[in-house]
Amino acid sequence: MQTNYSDFMNIKRKINKTRIKAIDFFCGGGGMSFGMQEAGIEILAGIDYDENCRDTYEANIGKGKFIHANVFDLKENNLQKQLGLIKNDDSLLLIGCSPCQFWSIINTDKNKSEKSKNLLVEFERFVKYLNPGYVVVENVPGVLRKKKESGLEDFISWLEKSNYTVHFKIHNTNDFGVPQNRKRFTLVANRLGQNKIFPLVDNGKKLCVKDVLGENNGFPRISAGSIDKSDFLHSVPSITETTLKRLQKIKTDGGDRFDFADDPELQLNCFKGRDKSFKDTFGRLWWNRPSPTITTKFTSVSNGRFVHPEENRALSLREGATIQSFPKSYKFYGNSFSSIARLIGNAVPPEYSKKIGQAIIGNHKIWQNLEQKQEQ
């Protein structure tokens, strides 16, 4: 039987209505988009003001899906026309994982990150304009501790008044299949039913470093300064001879800077008399524990507990990405160690994003079944 144009369009509208489509604001290198894509959500576009994200995003999410734009300048109706969006689309998901340095407990330059404190408010403009079926916000815990100043309090209030069911909580990504203790504020809102949507907890064994790193997991031993020119990027910056001597004194599997504190030639002046400060600096990861939070400085031994459990070097780019739960096939592009490390450290762990996406899809299927019964 031949399908006429009218029937075809009805089928197309039904498909569009059932499959969730997402726009990822502040998309960076695509961690959130990739996880959502793996869950089965169609990514319409990723938006970011940093053009350096484009190559990485498009290599893993899809060519032409990256929109280079400053959200402060981006107009709601222009984005609507560009992507062919409709208002009140039940199958539309808007994601806002704005840069969060201003609200982070990590000691950052607040003057440099001043503008980032208002990004949540800018994201809210698009939610109010499009009124999507689903909304996801992921950020540092600080946005919840400062929920009035960050705009979060007003945003949640508006969502609830607009008939969204809202879940928000500080989650540790280690509970969701990520081999890392990374606490993140997560909000999932939906206006399709009264059930709160939670990221799907991984009920299996919580992953630790030995589950993903080491020779048994495809990471050959390398030395500081080793450069991997393949897409695998098992590369690590070089270190000074003095730093190497410090690392050689640090015990394997969880040792720290106190292992060289009694050596006057190796102890740094900034650590003298400061035994209770910066304890993780020059620290090794433990094999049998999750990694600490991967930051943008994870390839530096002096910026946290980022020393390999056994080898005398920092984590490689690929090791950091793996701890962030990126697949080994994920491609990263940048013009320096620091630019690629920034993409990795700033990313939402894809496995965590996938668990959020799976929960949203589960809710959408329940809603679809209810709607079908009502139509019968």
Partners of residue 48 on adjacent β-strands = 68
User: What pLDDT is attached to residue 101?
Assistant: 53
Give the integer Cα–Cα distance in Å for 149 and 159.
17
Share of the chain above pLDDT 70, in %: 89
Phi-psi category of 37—alpha, beta or left, where left has phi over 0 and alpha has psi -120 to 50?
A: alpha
Count up the domains in the chain and report the number.
Answer: 1
Give the integer Cα–Cα distance in Å for 360 and 135.
10
Q: pLDDT, tens digit, for every residue of 217-260?
A: 999 999 999 999 999 999 999 999 999 999 999 999 999 988 98
- The domain of 150 spans 16-199+351-375
122 Cβ contact list (under 8 Å, min separation 6): 71, 72
Question: Is 220 inside any structural domain?
Answer: no
Question: Is 109 inside any structural domain?
Answer: yes
- pLDDT band per the 50, 70, 90 thresholds, residue 116: low
Give the integer Cα–Cα distance in Å for 87 and 132.
7
Q: pLDDT, tens digit, for every residue of 49-59?
A: 999 999 999 99
Place of tokens 């009124």: 131
Question: Is 83 inside any structural domain?
Answer: yes
Is the Cα dihedral 352, 118, 147, 112 positive or negative?
positive
Question: Is 62 inside any structural domain?
Answer: yes
Among the listed residues 136, 27, 51, 103, the one whose alpha carbon sits nearest the alpha carbon of residue 359:
136
Among the listed residues 25, 55, 56, the one whose alpha carbon sits nearest the alpha carbon of residue 43:
25
Neighbours of 115 (CB within 10 A): 12
CATH number (domain holding residue 36): 3.40.50.150
* Residue 68 in tokens: 């280079």
Question: Is 61 inside any structural domain?
Answer: yes
Question: Is 150 inside any structural domain?
Answer: yes
- pLDDT band per the 50, 70, 90 thresholds, residue 44: very high
Among the listed residues 142, 204, 200, 197, the one whose alpha carbon sits nearest the alpha carbon of residue 179:
204
Question: Is 326 inside any structural domain?
Answer: no
Taking the model in full, what pTM does it have?
Answer: 0.90
Question: Is 43 inside any structural domain?
Answer: yes
* Residue 361 in tokens: 């899809």
HSE (CB half, 13 Å, CA atoms) of 106?
15
